[in-house]
């Protein structure tokens, strides 16, 4: 097994399309036609005619005509039998040809399905062959374990052929996919038994599969490690302090109940540890039997030596160091123009914006899917205003004025958004220099709410996502939200109302503030699932916003300005991002 490279490389290959959903239909079994009735009339009429002719003529030869009736009946029956035999031969030839063609289609679909499943559920060797898949953002991979390759239920659907043994055999073949990844839920837990050398190799492969799927921070290895598990000390997940908890157990050890995933080994006759519902009994270096939920089957397994496991662990540790160093160093600032040029066409009804990069590539956030509202925190000098400007420009570049408009508020001197005043999407810029005009401008949002409610009612729609509604989404961006509330505390009720009803009306809030605690009410914060934080001074403030103290641990030097943490509602951990610059 080769050693993986330390730095990530791109892999443009994507899983092929899965098998088609249309069912394959087998020919029906041969059904003999009903036997034709005996032609009684045709058989008796010649007999009656011959007797009548003999009575009239007295010629004995006329009686020979009576034989015509039975001969006609026999000829009719013989012809029907010959036709049935000919039709049966034709049906058999046609059915055989159809089965051959269907068998070829089953083989092709199985090949596509097998390739798709292998790319969707890679084992360790597959990860190392496609380095770009390592730590790729697919959370579901961390929830599944590939035990090996075996026979699984196929997605190919086939019907027909009842009563035909050959067709039924083909249906049975189509229903089973051979040499495909056998996947089980990782949280079900796996216990491996068999010869100690083989069992240790399988346990290493299963653990490294999870470590290749999820980065440290999303997965961590917990618990004590015995001498046979010292290879795991080389993994960056061993030093992680957050994420799904993976526990590796040697024979005789027991899980303490705190682990999310347990991968254990056991000796002969030893019961399965708590938290292990899947049993893998290794019979040979490449063969094992698996028992999951009462279903027992054979599979080809993957195993790694201790040296191979250490090599993978060292490579992953270097990858983690390089990724973190690249994000933190800030030696190469990210240009917004590059992200905008590479951004894909947004889907209707969404508001995606590429705002920066992380170690894996461009980072896109969507106010519709990840919001509908967002909170951005950061101390002075951390780059909060630059982040808001970048976000607005990224949205404006990806959407037309018919899709989105902005109302900008700057309450820290009135100059942060000056550069955006000429952007066609910007309907107004409110500053703390406007006095009572600022309060009136914010109050005008109440009229906007009533107007949008009327437009929805007139269209017969419940929310702006309805295709009958042709309204641009309105994004209200406020820098220094705390200053706004300090000058106009009566607006607290307005923003709470906007946050509660904004999703349906297409109004989105982006609230920038130096700190969230003591500024943003819980009712308002609860409606802002999209959280972004640059450096803050108080770990408690970071925990309130992100659920972790990470934002308080960000460096405070100039090079770290623009380094942010993003957490969406579905994220297990905050994501580190280098925010793009809108100017060179």
Which residue from 517, 370, 494, 509 is spatially nearest to 440, judged by alpha carbons? 494
Instruction: Give CA–CA dist 555/276, Å, rounded.
Output: 42
Angle at 246 between CA 241 and CA 250, to 5 degrees: 125
Sign, CA torsion 473/376/328/415? positive
Check residue 421 and give its pLDDT: 82
Give the gyration radius of the chain's Cα atoms. Answer: 37
Q: How far apart are the first and last CA of the chain?
A: 45
Can you name the residues that pair with 510 across neighbouring β-strands?
Answer: 374, 477
Model pTM score: 0.51
Q: Which of 235, 190, 189 is nearest to 215 (CA)?
A: 235
d(CA 506, CA 452): 8
pLDDT tens across the length of the chain (584 residues): 433 333 333 333 344 444 445 678 877 766 666 766 766 766 677 777 777 777 777 777 766 666 666 777 777 777 777 777 787 788 788 878 888 888 899 999 999 999 989 888 899 998 888 877 888 655 556 688 999 999 999 988 888 878 788 888 888 999 999 999 999 999 999 999 999 999 999 999 999 999 999 888 788 898 888 888 888 888 888 887 777 899 999 998 888 888 899 999 998 888 888 889 999 999 998 899 999 887 888 999 999 999 999 999 888 887 776 555 554 444 456 778 777 777 777 888 889 988 888 766 778 899 998 989 999 999 888 888 889 999 999 999 888 898 999 999 888 766 778 888 888 999 888 887 666 777 788 888 888 899 999 999 988 888 898 888 888 999 999 988 888 888 888 888 888 889 998 999 999 999 999 888 888 888 888 899 999 999 898 888 888 998 888 888 887 766 667 788 999 887 777 888 888 887 64
Whole-number Å distance between alpha carbons of 521 and 529: 14
Please provide the size of the chain in residues: 584
Q: Which fold is adopted by the domain 134-328?
A: Rossmann fold (3.40.50)
Tokens of 547: 């659920």
- Give dist(CA 406, CA 428) in Å, integer: 7
Give the separation between CA 235 and CA 242, rounded to whole angstroms: 14
- Could you tell me the two tokens for 557? 């030097």
Q: What are the sequence ranges of the domains in the chain? A: 24-132, 134-328, 352-579
At 205 the pLDDT is 95
Fold assignment, 352-579: Rossmann fold (3.40.50)
- Is the CB of residue 160 less than 8 Å from the CB of residue 27? yes
Give dist(CA 539, CA 551) in Å, integer. 7
Residue 226's CB: how many other CB atoms inside 10 A?
12
Q: How far is CA 440 from CA 296, 298, 443, 446, 502, in A?
A: 71, 73, 5, 10, 20
- Residue 299 bridge partners (DSSP): 150, 288
> Taking a C-beta distance cutoff of 8 angstroms, is the pair 222, 245 a contact?
yes
Q: Helices (DSSP H) in 152-229: which residue ranges?
A: 165-175, 196-213
- Measured CA to CA, the distance from residue 290 to residue 272 in angstroms comes to 13
**pLDDT computed for residue 583 by the predictor:** 64
CA distances from residue 408 to 367, 411, 562 in whole angstroms, order as listed? 16, 10, 20
Report the alpha-carbon distance of residue 461 to residue 166 in Å, rounded. Answer: 56
């Amino acid at each position: 097994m080769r050693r993986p490279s330390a730095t990530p490389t791109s892999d443009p290959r994507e899983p092929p399309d899965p098998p088609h959903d249309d069912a394959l239909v087998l020919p029906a079994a041969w059904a003999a036609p009903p036997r034709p009735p005996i032609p009684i009339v045709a058989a008796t009429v010649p007999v009656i005619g011959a007797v009548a002719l003999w009575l009239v003529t007295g010629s004995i030869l006329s009686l020979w005509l009576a034989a015509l009736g039975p001969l006609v009946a026999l000829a009719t029956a013989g012809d029907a039998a010959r036709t049935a035999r000919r039709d049966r031969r034709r049906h058999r030839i046609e059915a055989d040809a159809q089965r051959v063609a269907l068998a070829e289609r089953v083989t092709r679909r199985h090949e596509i399905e097998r390739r798709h499943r292998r790319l969707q559920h890679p084992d360790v060797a597959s990860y190392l062959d496609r380095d770009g898949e390592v730590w790729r953002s697919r959370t579901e991979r961390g929830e599944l374990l590939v035990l090996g390759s075996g026979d699984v239920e196929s997605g190919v659907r086939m019907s027909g052929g009842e009563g035909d043994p050959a067709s039924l055999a083909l249906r049975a073949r189509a229903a089973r996919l051979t040499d495909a990844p056998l996947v089980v839920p990782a949280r079900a837990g796996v216990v491996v038994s068999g010869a100690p050398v083989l069992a240790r190799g399988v346990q290493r492969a299963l653990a490294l599969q999870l470590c290749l799927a999820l980065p440290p921070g999303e997965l961590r290895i917990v618990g004590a490690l015995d001498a046979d598990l010292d290879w795991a000390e080389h993994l960056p997940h061993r030093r992680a302090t957050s994420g799904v908890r993976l526990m590796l157990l040697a024979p005789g050890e027991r899980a303490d109940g705190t682990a999310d995933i347990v991968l254990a080994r056991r000796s002969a006759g030893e019961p399965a540890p708590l938290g292990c519902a899947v049993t893998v009994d290794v019979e040979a270096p490449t063969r094992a039997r698996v028992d999951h939920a009462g279903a027992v089957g054979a599979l080809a397994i993957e195993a790694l030596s201790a040296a191979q496991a250490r090599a993978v662990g060292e490579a992953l540790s270097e990858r983690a160091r390089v990724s973190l160093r690249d994000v933190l160093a800030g030696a190469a600032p990210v240009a917004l123009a590059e992200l905008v040029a590479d951004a894909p066409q947004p889907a209707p009804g969404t508001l995606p914006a590429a705002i920066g990069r992380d170690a894996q590539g461009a980072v896109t956030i969507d106010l519709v899917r990840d919001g509908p509202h967002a909170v951005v925190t950061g101390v002075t000098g951390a780059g909060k205003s630059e982040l808001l400007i970048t976000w607005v420009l990224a949205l404006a570049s990806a959407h037309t004025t018919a899709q989105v408009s902005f109302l900008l508020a700057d309450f820290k001197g009135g100059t942060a958004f000056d550069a955006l005043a000429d952007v066609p999407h910007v309907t107004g810029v409110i500053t703390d220099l406007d006095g009572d005009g600022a309060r009136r401008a914010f109050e005008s949002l109440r009229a906007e709410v009533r107007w949008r409610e009327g437009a929805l009612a007139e269209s017969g729609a419940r929310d702006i996502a309805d295709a009958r509604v042709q309204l641009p989404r309105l994004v209200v961006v406020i820098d220094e939200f705390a200053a706004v509330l300090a000058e106009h505390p009566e607006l607290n009720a307005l923003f709470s109302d906007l946050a509660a009803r904004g999703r349906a009306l297409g109004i989105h809030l982006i609230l920038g503030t130096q700190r969230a605690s003591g500024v943003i009410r819980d009712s308002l914060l609860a409606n802002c699932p999209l959280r972004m934080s640059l450096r803050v001074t108080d770990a408690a403030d970071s925990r309130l916003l992100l659920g972790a103290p990470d934002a308080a641990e960000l460096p405070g030097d100039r090079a770290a300005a623009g380094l942010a943490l993003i957490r969406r509602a579905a994220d297990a951990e905050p994501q580190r991002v280098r925010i793009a610059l809108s100017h060179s």
